[in-house]
A and B are shown apart, each in its own frame.
Chain A
Amino acid sequence: MKTLKILVGVAFIIAISAFALNKVSGTKIKGGYSIGDIATDFKLKNVDDSSVSLSDYDDAKGFIVIFTCNHCPYSVAYEDRIIALDLLYKEKGYPVIAINPNNPKAYPDDSFDNMKIRAKEKGFTFPYLTDDTQVIYPMYGATKTPHVYVLEKTTTGNIVRYIGAIDNNYKDASAATKKYVEDAVNALLKGKKVPVEVTKAIGCSIKA
């Protein structure tokens, strides 16, 4: 590797807002949900071989839908927090529904058999579903794992109320100063507006 020294001349600092999107992007998912959209239901296979749909949950007030997977270190870093979210909110009406959106041919770690193993090892308290036909994640607009959608169940459907990260520190739960998903669900439980509706995070690209 070359020397640490980065050779730089600084005549002007260009505002970062000048960044332009180049339109050649081919892998970017078009569409996906925005806040306030009605999220589709689905029927996906769970690690216990049953099929799970949002409509199965008669008593739910909403859902914490999390696109996650086995192979991604960011997903793994959040596993305990995902379990904690489910334990905290399932009884309050907001169960976690985890969906693995990856193509197992691209990531063998994310195969259905390995999902079963991981769910058992970690003692997942929530359904861990495979979107192996890869139909659902593009509809939601998930681009990476983990990627969370908090849905509020209403008479007109499941409305998207929050999209993004679980909190603001993937490395260390105790160092997170903003718990976006908790704040969102707590607000919804009180009938209030979600304080932060969209956040961004680094994650592992979903592989088609």
Chain B
Amino acid sequence: MPKWIIYSALIILFTTCKGEKTVALDATNVFESKGIEIPVYDFESFKPLLTINDGKTRVVNFWATWCKPCVAELPYFELINSRYPDDKVEVILVSLDVPSQVESKLIPFVVKQKIESKVILLDDPDANSWIPKVSKNWSGSIPATIIYKNGTINFYERSFTYNELEKELKKML
């Protein structure tokens, strides 16, 4: 049994710099180890993250430590995260690692690779119900990425090079 802290309904408050109305995402759990916190969401609690309408561009990458092409392109997402200002672009790395491997694989990976982007875990085994809600064009393979700002959303079921990723990001900025 992994030693993670269970919050029956951890409320993560969302605030904006402008002090607008806030919304809460309810993480179902939080894994905490080596100074890293990974909040865990089921799809219902994760869903609002795909529809935030605050003028910021969000790059949401679905990945897992076991997914080789995902790991290969992570540095490009990290580079985007570091090169663009936080109030313009936010990178969110949505891990689909199995929960039993969060402490043994995911957190050590985040530590070793010094991942700066936000990492969260989407843990919802009934994928058939939620994959089409992310994109009706998604077959379920990863890597997959959403780039969105306000109501404009692009979905990519593919791998990226840095230049390709930045090109797609710039379409949105």
The contact sample of 14 A-B pairs, CB cut-off 8 A, is A5-B14, A7-B56, A8-B49, A11-B20, A16-B51, A16-B134, A22-B156, A144-B141, A168-B127, A170-B125, A170-B127, A202-B140, A204-B142, A205-B142
Cβ of A200 within 8 Å of any chain B Cβ, yes or no, is yes
- The residue on A at minimum CB distance from B38 is A1
- The residue on B at minimum CB distance from A175 is B125
Q: How far is the CB of A71 from chain B (nearest CB, A)?
A: 7
The reply to whether B66 and A72 form a contact with Cβ atoms under 8 Å apart is yes
Q: How far is the CB of A32 from chain B (nearest CB, A)?
A: 9
Chain A residues, CB < 8 A from B125: 168-172, 175
Chain B residues, CB < 8 A from A207: 68-69
The reply to whether A21 and B137 form a contact with Cβ atoms under 8 Å apart is yes
Chain B residues, CB < 8 A from A20: 152-155
Cβ of A68 within 8 Å of any chain B Cβ, yes or no, is no
Determine the distance from Cα of A207 to Cα of B50 in the docked complex, in whole angstroms: 28
Residues of B within 8 A of A (CB): 12-18, 20-23, 25, 30, 36-37, 39, 47-56, 64, 66-69, 90, 92, 96, 98-99, 101, 110, 115-119, 125-129, 131-143, 146, 150-159, 164, 168
Q: How far is the CB of A105 from chain B (nearest CB, A)?
A: 12
Chain A residues, CB < 8 A from B119: 1
Chain A residues bordering chain B, tally (CB within 8 A): 53
Chain A residues, CB < 8 A from B56: 7
Which of B22, B92, B127: most chain A CB closer than 10 A?
B127
Cβ of A73 within 8 Å of any chain B Cβ, yes or no, is yes
| Among A22, A143, A178, contact of B154 (Cβ-Cβ < 8 Å) | A22
Cβ of A107 within 8 Å of any chain B Cβ, yes or no, is yes
Q: Which of A23-31, A85-93, A128-136 contacts B (4 or more CB under 8 A)?
A: A23-31
Cβ of A164 within 8 Å of any chain B Cβ, yes or no, is yes
The reply to whether A19 and B153 form a contact with Cβ atoms under 8 Å apart is yes
Interface of A is mostly: loop
| Among A27, A168, A204, contact of B67 (Cβ-Cβ < 8 Å) | A204
The reply to whether A19 and B136 form a contact with Cβ atoms under 8 Å apart is yes
The reply to whether B23 and A10 form a contact with Cβ atoms under 8 Å apart is yes
Chain A residues, CB < 8 A from B168: 22, 24
The reply to whether A11 and B53 form a contact with Cβ atoms under 8 Å apart is yes
The reply to whether B37 and A1 form a contact with Cβ atoms under 8 Å apart is yes
The reply to whether A16 and B155 form a contact with Cβ atoms under 8 Å apart is no
- The residue on B at minimum CB distance from A8 is B14
Chain A residues, CB < 8 A from B69: 205, 207
| Among A6, A73, A164, contact of B25 (Cβ-Cβ < 8 Å) | A6
Determine the distance from Cα of A18 to Cα of B56 in the docked complex, in whole angstroms: 18
Which A142-198 residues have a C-beta within 8 angstroms of B?
Answer: 143-144, 164-165, 168-172, 175, 178, 180
